[in-house]
Amino acid sequence: MSYTVLARRYRSRTFDEVVGQGAAAQTLKNAIATDRVAHAYLFTGTRGVGKTTMARILAKALNCQAFDEPTTQPCCKCESCKAINEGEDMDVLEIDGASHTGVDHIRELRQNAIYRPARARFKIYIIDEVHMLSPSAFNALLKTLEEPPEHVKFIMATTEPNKVPATIQSRCQRFDFRNIRTEEIAAQLQKILAEEQMEAEEQLVRRVAHLANGSMRDGLSLLDQLLSMAEEKLTAGLLAELLGTPRSEHIVELAESIGQGDAGKVIRQVDAALEEGLASEVLAEALQEHFRDLMVMRNCGPDTELVETNESGLRQRMTEQAEMFDDATLVYNITVMEELRRSIRASGSGRALLEAALVRLTASERFSDTKVLLEQMQGYLSQGEGKDLSAGPRERPRQVSSRDYAAEGGGSRLSAAGAAKSTEKPQPAQESQESQESQESKGFLKPPQTLNQTYIREHWKEILSELSRRGMKHLEAYLQPAQPTEWNEGVLKLGFLGHDGMGLFGR
């Protein structure tokens, strides 16, 4: 016996079975119940959300022979219903707009439409991908829509409603089919698996529903492939094998190495992943999603439903990992991964690009968090000749939430008022005096008691190299393109190349 794909076997047969399009189903039922069925409908929505399924249900409702008039509960057993289910009814004609773009097909349709239906109440034309019709075909269709015979109904479906002429749209009742929610797809998959008597890990079902991205058809076709591979139980490992996607643990480990700033480990892990046959782009995508999950967990709490993982062990690790990064770094990492995916697609030299991008991320924590950098700089300046703030170049900056950032003006100005509050108090004068002497003997800078603009301007280069000498090489690198533009009451404004200046730290 040949295998019928799930999407066909489990296609909804009645309005009440429809998944995820309850509003449209209810409105159509109301129209039938109150005898207000329109002459023409336009169903819009992305692929696999149930447009054709709904068109067939509507056709059955209008033509079911078990009733004397249109019904909201077609029997699905009469000759008409059965034929419509198969897409082979003589009165319900399905036309694929994509392969019948020419005007001749529509002319034929118009001539044919004059004749009454063979056995049912209505002659129904279901035109799929109607936006593909040629302009002359649309014109011919418009004439029929303007003066439709009483016994004719049109149901048109399209993924691109903006390509359907306004003149056509204005003569149709339009229904926008929404993308089906992940939970709705997951519930339907569970139901089907139960009927198929196949066991599946809950984690896998959620993952498949997520990958379906709003399309029931895509979800079912993925499930079809999994069923053809599985022997006893559907597992997340099977899905990883099918898609060539990395296992979640591997991604968590990779992200951990990035968080630790261990470039060597990152490169070795990338090598291992590529050895397993993973594509660079797939790895980049998985990492991007992972960073997104961490960002969501940081902001919505570790138990948020917006992150899809049901393995409690994994969630625990991700919760810990979310604390390793701050929001600014995660946002930065997500953007870098997006850029990376684009350049891998464009260049083909995926591996080098992937490694370069990930090494960049290992350093990102030191480069991306402007606020931490500014904080260090402020500490240095406000302490004058105080002690070193940074123990060494590898020291991890304190985590600061990017929520503290307050954007001003055109967005290129950052205020670090929050940083000001948290810095250490200047050293008492005596101690400061003491260290000044010892530092001076080592040839360090000796700023005046009260800092002023002229001093900062004149000594800018030295201030920068001083940072480097104190183990803040990354801060020096970051501030290299900047010039001090204003010093006012403890706030230093820096001008960066191409920017109008950057509000810096306070007292």
Residues that bind Zn ion (CB under 5 A): 64, 66, 74-75, 78, 81
3-state helix, strand, coil in the chain (%, to 5): 55, 10, 35
CB of 43 closer than 8 Å to CB of 156? yes
What is the CB-side half-sphere exposure of residue 481 using CA atoms within 13 A?
A: 8
Distance, in Å, from the CA atom of 483 to the CA atom of 495, rounded to the nearest integer, reads: 5
Minimum CB separation from Zn ion for residue 120, in Å? 10
CB-nearer residue toward Zn ion: 121 or 250: 121
Please, what is the minimum distance in Å from the beta carbon of residue 82 to Zn ion?
A: 8
234 near 193, Cβ under 8 Å? yes
β-strand pairing of 92-96 with 123-128: parallel
Kindly tell me which of 78 and 238 has the beta carbon lying closer to Zn ion.
78
* Closer by beta carbon to Zn ion, 68 or else 150: 68
Tell me how far apart the alpha carbons of residues 97 and 163 are, in angstroms, rounded to a whole number: 13
Q: How far is the CB of 84 from Zn ion (least distance, A)?
A: 8
C-beta of 25 vs 59, nearer to Zn ion: 59
State residue 429 phi and psi, 5-degree precision: -55, -40
Nearer to Zn ion, 48 or 74 (CB): 74
Quick check: 132 and 96 in contact, CB under 8 A?
A: no
Q: Report in angstroms how near the CB of residue 10 gets to Zn ion at its nearest.
A: 19
Q: Kindly list the distances between the CA atom of residue 22 and the CA atoms of 30, 125, 162, 180, 332, in Å, as whole numbers in the listed order.
A: 12, 23, 24, 10, 40
**Nearest distance from C-beta of residue 119 to Zn ion, angstroms:** 12
Question: How far is residue 44's CA from residue 174's CA, in Å, rounded to a whole number?
Answer: 7
* Single-letter amino acid, residue 298: R
Other CB atoms within a 10 A radius of the CB of residue 228 amount to: 9
42: part of which helix (H) or strand (E)? strand 40-44
CB of 78 to Zn ion, least distance (A): 3
Minimum CB separation from Zn ion for residue 86, in Å?
13
Q: Which is nearer to Zn ion, 42 or 64 (CB)?
A: 64
Taking the complex as a whole, the smallest distance from the CB of residue 346 to Zn ion amounts, in Å, to 54
With respect to Zn ion, which residue has the nearer C-beta, 18 or 463? Answer: 18
- Residues 500, 486: contact at Cβ < 8 Å? no
Between residues 33 and 407, which has the closer beta carbon with respect to Zn ion?
33
